Homo-oligomer: A and B are copies of this chain.
Amino acid sequence: MIPPHTDTVAAARFFRVFGDATRLRLLQLLLERGEMTVGELVAAVGQPQPRISTHLACLRHCGFAVTERRGREVHYRLAVDGLDALLAQAFGVMTPISGRLASCTRIGPDWM
């Protein structure tokens, strides 16, 4: 059941992508709407464009999202399967402990 050691390290990196609220929000948006332009993501998240683009670059590089340029606009789509199930599972695990999570001092303030 326990994956080898290197898989644990890789998994921690994976979870760290989700550990930023802006990136998580972007993933959620793409999950729901299927495909969005940068401008739409910027508007939906309500943060400055460079900030969104930086996070999108991370998602792109890591393989979570793929892009397609159409004229001036760049469209982003999810490139992973199972994200909906993962998020649903995560909410199931965290809901009973969310109050405790909020006061953890090891996990600091949120960026969003």
Contact = CB atoms under 8 A, between A and B. Distances in A.
A31 interface: yes
A68 interface: no
Contacts of A74: none
A84 interface: yes
Interface string A28-57: 110110000000000000000000001001
B62 A80 contact: no
A41 to B, nearest CB: 13
A3 B14 CA distance: 21
Contacts of A14: 90, 93-94, 98, 101
Given A9-B112, A21-B9, A97 B80 contact: yes
Given A2-B28, A2-B31, 6 more contacts: A5-B112, A11-B94, A14-B94, A17-B101, A17-B104, A17-B107
